[in-house]
Structure 1
Amino acid sequence: MNTQDKKTAVLPVARKLGIVGGLGSLAGGDLFFKLVKSRAVLADQGRYHFLFEQHPFKDVLLPLDRDASMTARKFYVFQVCQSFEAGGVDAVVLPCFASHTFRDEIQQELGIPVLDLMAALAEHIRRIAEPGTRLGILASDYVRHSGLFERYLGGDFQLVYPPEPDQRVLMDAMYGLNGIKDGYLQGVPLEGVYQACLALQARGANLIVPGLTELSLVCADLQRRGLSVLDINEIYAAAVTTADDEPTRAPFKLGIVGGVGPAATVDFMAKVVRHTPAGRDQEHIKMVVEQNPQIPDRTANLLFDEADPTLALYATCKRLESAGAQAIAIPCNTAHAFVERLQPYLRVPIVNMLSETVAAIARQHGSGKRIGLLATSGTVQSQVYHHAARHTGLSLLIPGFDYQELVMNAIYGERGIKAGFTDGLCKEQLLLAVEHLCELGAEVIILGCTELPLVLSHCDHFQVRGHSVALVDPTTVLATRCVSLAGLPA
């Protein structure tokens, strides 16, 4: 390679693998050893970074009998995987058959892949065995009765298990006092496993398949006795160091900056639910909400230079990021005056409710319509809707001074919406402002404060004192956009 080639050569991207330890300390250590000495790693030792993480797991010594509870194991595995994801690990190695009975549940909550031990085992068997081969399975009672092997191998192979007496011998050899999990790899425990293997051969098994990662610790001894036994740690190590990680995306999760205001947040969430085409609970969108009413008032800051809400908004968005949100919604029109300050410091996008609203108006009503804006004085003064409208060729009408005061009183007054009222004086004040904008020529009116749709609804033909006007609710627009971001037809 010449000097120029050396300058332009692209080094392979390092691959960081996190290994969940503690579910069987000796088997986990054996897997780590086999990963380090695997052909792929020895050929390119600079490419692979391994992070072995093991914490105290109180149920590790309990035998995996048929009715064993997986709750503590699930929580342990999830917590370790979650720390791997936060630490920038590319993929998780999970050397535990029992944990693969709930691998799909763990994967649903992560944005990095949990590499499938059973898929690696099944692929290896399909390479070396003919369809219909009788496979003898050595597994714990729990895994045996979970249907795990049937799901991965039952369609192509015949599966047999040891008779019950030999299964009890196997369980004792693994989990009993001075068993293989305790590090006793010779003598009575080894003979117990050997007896179970002979029982499988007597049932016609041509190949003995491990369903316990600890079997790798005695696999060589069994092979020397002439048994055709697979080494699961050898197989798993080869698979995870040669496979390219498929991009894994956790189910879409929407982060919501709540409390601005509190009732509007609940209203927005209801609209997301209402516009999601779901036939059952599990088809709805994940939402994580920080209901933070202590965020300083946006209008008070914009109009009177009171407390700045920028940091509180940013901190809330960062917590939503940390909770796994893939997009952030802020159901507050006035807060969008601060979005341009926040977005450069966030990894996930804030869905801009104002831009989405004016774009929706242009699509549905055309760019030639005259648009009225009902909003807080802070939103009006910040010109955020005006800027968004100019990008789509729309022009805005705003209420005259007296009518703008009516809008503010309808929102902030003693009998206003933020005080919990949605009828009576506040509604009459808003209807007067709507009529005023219609008289100015408005054909479409934006309900540009998230409290307003609690009183007036999204409507294409709203009648008010002889005028017909379309009312556009930005929170409805935002909700439908968030549904579409989740890959669902709104």
Structure 2
Amino acid sequence: MSLVLGVLGGMGPAATLDFLAKLQAYTPAERDQDHIRVLADINPQVPDRNTPGGAAGPVLAEMAGGLAGAGAQVLAMPCNTAHAHADLIMDASGLPLIDMIAVAAQAAAETGAHRVGVLGTKGALRLYREYLAAQGLGFVGLPAERQEAFMALLYRIKAGEFGAAARNEMRALAEDLMAAGAEALIAGCTEAPLVLSADEVRLPFIDAGDHLARRCVAVCLEYEPAPTLPL
């Protein structure tokens, strides 16, 4: 019997569907009944996580409470920036959250890199800087004007642009991080892997959503212990 996973999704919808596909692909199953039960709230109406004021927090808390009421036993959220509200989500639901930022930072440490570049929103970058420092790793970010270019590209991807132009621009941003001294690269925005793959990067490449899916499978099938609620 596996744990029931509750997914706070819709940030954005394409990234959530990508995560759910990875979750299914990584589950060792010979029949339908071997898969994990997943309760997903795909809510594109969550306020923009990049807008100051924290308006997303109460909505995410309500979603988490709803998932707990529906029977979820552990939560996951395939949105890096929204992890700024992790404590509120756990307080509202009484459920532990499998922390995508922590999972990705651990994966970066396991590459042996000392300096890690991150493609992500400003909010996500603040979290990654903290989590990487806890692993004894240096953080490499984009200069201000290139970070603004990343944000503009992010919103184009959210609007459905997945073609060659978007792929070329994301690859160029990754190359900027490499040129700045990154020894590994974290796709710290769930839209980034929609237009950038490991074979396009000449460094260890950590897709945070991919690693989150793997950890969810391990936790829900009880191969690894579930996270605990903060004291």
Normalised to the residue count of structure 1, the TM-score between the two structures is: 0.44
Task: For residue 488 of structure 1, report the CA deviation from its aligned partner.
Answer: 5.9
Contact 1:443 1:470 in 2 (8 A): yes
The equivalent of 1:473 in structure 2 is 207
Task: For residue 321 of structure 1, report the CA deviation from its aligned partner.
Answer: 0.3
Contact 1:277 1:489 in 2 (8 A): no
The equivalent of 1:359 in structure 2 is 106
Is 1:253 the counterpart of 2:4? The answer is yes
Contact 1:253 1:325 in 2 (8 A): yes
Is 1:327 the counterpart of 2:78? The answer is no
Matches within 5 A, 1:361-440: 361-363=108-110, 365-366=111-112, 368-380=113-125, 383-412=126-155, 416-440=156-180
Structure-1 separation of matches of 2:95 and 2:122: 29
Q: Structure 1: which 5+ runs fail to align?
A: 1-249
Task: For residue 340 of structure 1, report the CA deviation from its aligned partner.
Answer: 2.5
* Aligned-partner residue type, residue 172 of structure 2: L
Show CA shifts across 1:321-370 (max 9, x none): 0111111111000001111333234321011100011112212x12x421
* Aligned-partner residue type, residue 24 of structure 2: V
Which of these two proteins has the greater Rg computed from alpha carbons?
Answer: 1
Structure-2 separation of matches of 1:289 and 1:345: 17
Show CA shifts across 1:434-471 (max 9, x none): 111111111211101111111112x3xx445xxx2122
Q: 1:313 aligns with which of 52, 56, 60?
A: 60
- The higher relative CO (CA closer than 8 Å, separation ≥ 6) is in 2
What percentage of aligned pairs have identical amino acids?
Answer: 38
Structure-1 separation of matches of 2:115 and 2:43: 36
* Aligned-partner residue type, residue 361 of structure 1: A
The equivalent of 1:271 in structure 2 is 22
Q: How many matched pairs?
A: 224
Contact 1:410 1:425 in 2 (8 A): no
Is 1:348 the counterpart of 2:95? The answer is yes
> Over the residues paired in the alignment, what is the CA RMSD in angstroms?
1.7
Show CA shifts across 1:148-204 (max 9, x none): xxxxxxxxxxxxxxxxxxxxxxxxxxxxxxxxxxxxxxxxxxxxxxxxxxxxxxxxx
Show CA shifts across 1:32-61 (max 9, x none): xxxxxxxxxxxxxxxxxxxxxxxxxxxxxx
Is 1:455 the counterpart of 2:206? The answer is no
Structure-1 separation of matches of 2:215 and 2:116: 21
Q: Which runs of 4+ in 1 moved over 4 A?
A: none
Structure-1 separation of matches of 2:60 and 2:132: 24
Q: Structure 2: which 5+ runs fail to align?
A: 225-231
Contact 1:403 1:432 in 2 (8 A): no
